[in-house]
Structure 1
Amino acid sequence: MVESRKLWILAGPAIFTGLCQYTLGAITQIFAGQLGTLELAAFSVENSVIAGLSFGVMMGMGSALETLCGQAYGAGQLDMLGIYMQRSWVILNTTALFLSFIYIFAGPLLKAIGQETKIAQAAGTFALWMIPQLFAYAVNFPLAKFLQAQSKMNVMAFIAIAALLLHTLFSWLFTFKLGWGLAGLAVVLNASWWFINVAQFLYILSGTCGRACNALLRSMVLYRFDFVCWIPEES
């Protein structure tokens, strides 16, 4: 019972955060269905094939940071947390650059695997609009592992539910009041993911992460990136 309680204190907010982030796409799909069959099909194909592939790659690469941050935090090397996260940002954003070609050529790729022409074209156009979400993944997963290593799960849950509520409101506003269609849904979904990133980063900068935050700021100013190691500049 003691172990279960300790696990659920961390797992509960983590599960809730994951559900809220997953529901962002589900809410968008619901509103896409209100626009029409073609719009629903276009979003579903893009979300499940293009974004789903990118999400899996980014999630897998970001999960590697979980081990590094967990080991550093357990060893009391809090200064390394920020440095690990900055490295991961560089690596994941570089990966996102390569994955962006899948978004750019999504239409022809979907046609090549047998998708109906109209749906492939609509999904390809929507994929172009969703490129900012790809880079949001690259920023979000290192942020999440950085906070998880320090058991900052509750704040992640609060940010996630705020993003979900705002996402639902603005999806309704852009779809039914402004009439932006799929383009509006893309804007809102991109903005929701970047809202999560900005809110988490501002929380880190607020000083609640102590030495880990200080190390992150120092690494941004005093360290230069090298593909082998991080070397402090001469003072």
Structure 2
Amino acid sequence: MEERLLGSEAKDISDLKGRIWIENKKIWKVGFPAALARVTQYGMFVVTQSFIGHAGKLQLAGYALIQIIAVRFANGILLGMSSATETLCGQAFGARQYHMMGVYLQRSWIINLLTATILLPVFIFSGKIFRLLGEEEETASAAGYISLWFIPMLYFFSLAFSLQKYLQTQLKNMIVGWLSAASFALHVLLSWIFVSKLNWGIPGAMIAMNISSWLVIIGELVYVVGGWCPDTWRGFTLAAFTDLIPVIKLSISSGLMLCLEFWYNAVLVLLAGYMKNATTQVSALSICLNITAWEFMLCIAFLTSASVRVSNELGRGDAKAAKFSVKVILFISLCLGAFFFIICLAFDSQIAKLFTNEQMVIKAVSNLSLLLAFSVLLNSFQAVLTGVAVGAGRQSMVACINVSSYYIGGVPIGVILGYVAHLQIKGIWIGMTIGVVMQVMVLGYVTSRTNWDEQVKKASERLNSWFLRPSEESNNENFIRESLNG
């Protein structure tokens, strides 16, 4: 009897190992290309900052203001709004409603391009905006000049994010990873030629970024419309203009969810701009935030994996598989976070030397190394839990949690520690970290209490309400054409 029980336990352990291994392969099939794409694409910003930073402390501070405030502001909105595409396409793929994925992609393009155009004045008038916010005149002027070079990147975001999420939900995002890696290598080469050899300065660095980024878009469009996605792409359709209102609602809640996270760090930089020796403080903080953001790009791979795996399984109607996937992804992401925690502590003073030669900035970065390490560790929890919410279409809930944790908790605590307790930039960052801890705790509790059978039901209802048969797409196009002609 005991031998049978032991044999049964061994079999269960073996089955569990097999399930973990299979799930692991599914996770990395989505996660590796996503990590490669996000790390290399964000790496372009880091490389550009490095070339601009060695030109001088003022240029570095100006670039930091525009990248971490204006660019992150727009990036957060457009990336967040594109997560609606991730939810819809992921669940449609799981439910085998393949032709609807192309429709969802085109709806996302329409909404994102309109949003990018609305955001355009932020980049055109950023210099004046920073002056109104009380930033130093020279730093605000430098940021205003650099922001004009970021306008092509604004429209890059509006197309790229939707394309990437469309491809990754059908497990075809390896093309995105390799295109992004190739464009990153090209960006490094062009930056070296334009800045170091031709001495074009800021224009050279920004031209290199714009060329490299848009080559990714061109490659992805060729892949999609050229016949490599025959089941999910059936050409441009006027059906994309139907049912926009519910998609806009989901996109807005998705945008709020992520942009509130992105703006959180922007608030930190903005507050640093009011401190003594603001140029050094902003420069040091921007270097730290770029390190955490670059590491977060790896964590976004797990956010992506969590979103795709959860949305696919919910669309397929398998609640247990969705729950099991969450556990495996969370463990892998935690291991990655622990690794980078150790790296940040071990190389605290060496990191800043990659970005600047200014000794005051290097010393300031070294003083923030412990907080930097804790931030990269928290990223591993935060990303997966957010990805689970995206996969289930619960973006509005996460937006509410972010507002409460960050702006009711973290920011006020940071202001008190920074200005009242005179801890300066370290105090502000401690407050911000407390806000992230609050967010992770609440998201962790909500995820642990989730009724996955209920989420399967909600996913089915959402897909059925927006489902169009191929014949209905044609009928919609004919109706719109007749309306336009008549």
Return closer, same or farther for 1:97/1:4 CA change in 2, 3 Å cut-off: same
- What's the counterpart of residue 92 of structure 1? 112
* 1:138 aligned to which of 158, 168, 176: 158
Deviation of the 1:224 alpha carbon = 7.1
Rounded to whole Å, the distance in 1 between the matches of 2:83 and 2:138 is 36
Provide the alpha-carbon RMSD of the alignment. 1.8
* 1:74 aligned to which of 83, 94, 98: 94
The yes-or-no answer on 1:48 pairing with 2:68 is yes
Return closer, same or farther for 1:218/1:98 CA change in 2, 3 Å cut-off: closer
TM-score (normalizing by structure 2): 0.46
Rounded to whole Å, the distance in 2 between the matches of 1:41 and 1:126 is 11
Return closer, same or farther for 1:74/1:43 CA change in 2, 3 Å cut-off: same
- Letter of the aligned partner of 1:33 in structure 2? G
Rounded to whole Å, the distance in 2 between the matches of 1:136 and 1:163 is 14
Return closer, same or farther for 1:40/1:124 CA change in 2, 3 Å cut-off: same
Unaligned runs of 5+ in 2: 1-20, 246-465, 467-472, 482-486
Rounded to whole Å, the distance in 2 between the matches of 1:206 and 1:98 is 31
Deviation of the 1:223 alpha carbon = 4.9
- What's the counterpart of residue 402 of structure 2? none
Return closer, same or farther for 1:223/1:89 CA change in 2, 3 Å cut-off: same
- What's the counterpart of residue 2 of structure 1? 22
Return closer, same or farther for 1:7/1:166 CA change in 2, 3 Å cut-off: same
Number of residue pairs matched by the alignment: 231
Q: Percent of pairs identical after alignment?
A: 35
The yes-or-no answer on 1:179 pairing with 2:179 is no
Native 8 Å contact 1:224 1:232 kept in 2? no
Rounded to whole Å, the distance in 1 between the matches of 2:47 and 2:32 is 22
Deviation of the 1:60 alpha carbon = 0.5
The yes-or-no answer on 1:233 pairing with 2:253 is no
The yes-or-no answer on 1:198 pairing with 2:218 is yes
Rounded to whole Å, the distance in 1 between the matches of 2:157 and 2:206 is 15
Native 8 Å contact 1:171 1:185 kept in 2? yes
Aligned partner of residue 182 in structure 1, secondary structure: helix
TM-score (normalizing by structure 1): 0.92
Native 8 Å contact 1:58 1:92 kept in 2? yes
- Letter of the aligned partner of 1:191 in structure 2? I
- What's the counterpart of residue 61 of structure 1? 81
Rounded to whole Å, the distance in 1 between the matches of 2:218 and 2:240 is 23
- Letter of the aligned partner of 1:156 in structure 2? V
- Letter of the aligned partner of 2:161 in structure 1? F
Rounded to whole Å, the distance in 2 between the matches of 1:92 and 1:171 is 29
The yes-or-no answer on 1:117 pairing with 2:137 is yes
What's the CA shift string for 1:167-216, capped at 9, x where partnerless? 00001111022222111211121222211111111111231111222x2x
Deviation of the 1:218 alpha carbon = 4.0
Native 8 Å contact 1:136 1:197 kept in 2? yes
Unaligned runs of 5+ in 1: none
Rounded to whole Å, the distance in 1 between the matches of 2:207 and 2:174 is 27
Native 8 Å contact 2:44 2:184 kept in 1? yes
